[in-house]
Amino acid sequence: MTNRTIDLYWSVRSPYCYLALDRLLALQGDGVTIHLKPVYPIAIRDPNFFKVRASKHYRSYSMLDTPRIAECHGIPFRRPVPDPIVQNLETGEIAIDQPHVRLITRLTMLAAEQGRGMAFIDQTARLLWDGGTDNWDQGSHMTDAARRAGLDYNELLAEAETDPDSIDARIQKNEAAQEAAGHSGVPLMVYDGEPFFGQDRIDLLRWRMGL
């Protein structure tokens, strides 16, 4: 029987992950099993990335590229309000305190461990990125998104707040596995040991899988 299982390394702050979401869900619909592996964004894993290592064109190109990909695929798109990462966009400096991205990544990890990871990002990625919700972190937005994914937000939140270090340790294992697979970017799909990096590699992945 043909192997139709992939590991998906995913960052909640990546616009490219969001822009890949519908095509990844379509893979699921075609019988592909997706093991969601949440990782922290590069800005958290390497706080100097945007200050030192990123190309000077990195942000300006992303700001040009992501809306046109969304337009090409007919995907509603706007950058999250608020940004999951607290960052000075002028200097690239990343704040030490990161309440949003750490919490939502931990919640995504817990959802994945309950076998509801893809359902969870189906709801939460749209909440952040489709432009339909301001202040996604307030009110009942996250509670409602979790409920639509078949999860109890209060239970997830209680575990995330009680055991953050253990959850982070499991996320770090994902990050180590991602590096070992051959790339540190997202979205990264790994099929039969072969990495496919980027939302523009999903068709190539389909070809490799014979879909």
Tokens representing residue 157 in the block = 């939140």
Beta bridge partners of 9: 37, 188
Tens of pLDDT, residue by residue over 117-154, are 999 999 999 999 999 999 999 999 999 999 999 999 99
The pLDDT score that the predictor gives to residue 51 is: 63
CB 189 within 8 A of CB 205: yes
Phi/psi for 94 (5° steps) reads: -100, 130
**Tokens 């939140």 belong to which residue?**
157
pTM: 0.94
pLDDT score for 3? 81
User: Which pLDDT belongs to residue 200?
Assistant: 96
- The answer to whether the CB of 17 falls within 8 A of the CB of 128 is no
pLDDT of residue 44: 85
Pick from 205, 186, 189, 196: which is nearest to 15 by CA? Answer: 186
pLDDT value of position 53:
58
Q: For the chain, what are the domain ranges?
A: 5-209
Q: How do beta strands 33-38 and 5-10 pair?
A: parallel
Phi, psi of 87 (to 5 degrees): -150, 140
Q: Please tell me the predicted confidence (pLDDT) of residue 48.
A: 73
What integer pLDDT is reported at residue 55 of this predicted model? 64
Query: 8: which DSSP letter?
Result: E
Across 98-125, average pLDDT? 97
* pLDDT of res. 88: 76
What pLDDT is attached to residue 168? 97
User: Rounded to the nearest 5°, which phi and psi values hold at 195?
Assistant: -85, 140
For 147-194, what is each residue's pLDDT tens digit? Answer: 999 999 999 999 999 999 999 999 999 999 999 999 999 999 999 999
How many C-beta neighbours within 10 Å does residue 121 have? 28
Report the Cα 70 to chain-centroid distance in Å: 16
At residue 39, the 3 state secondary structure works out as coil
Q: What is the mean pLDDT of the chain?
A: 93
pLDDT digits (tens, 9 = 90+) for 8-60: 999 999 999 999 999 999 999 999 999 999 999 988 888 777 665 566 777 78
Q: How far apart are CA 5 and CA 35, in angstroms?
A: 8
- Whether pLDDT at 91 is above 80: no
pLDDT at 208: 96
- CA dist 75 and 160 (Å) reads 31
Task: For the domain made up of 5-209, give the CATH fold.
Answer: Glutaredoxin (3.40.30)
> Which pLDDT belongs to residue 159?
97
Minimal CA–CA distance to 189: which of 5, 19, 14, 47? Answer: 5
What sign has the CA pseudo-torsion 71, 73, 74, 80? Answer: negative
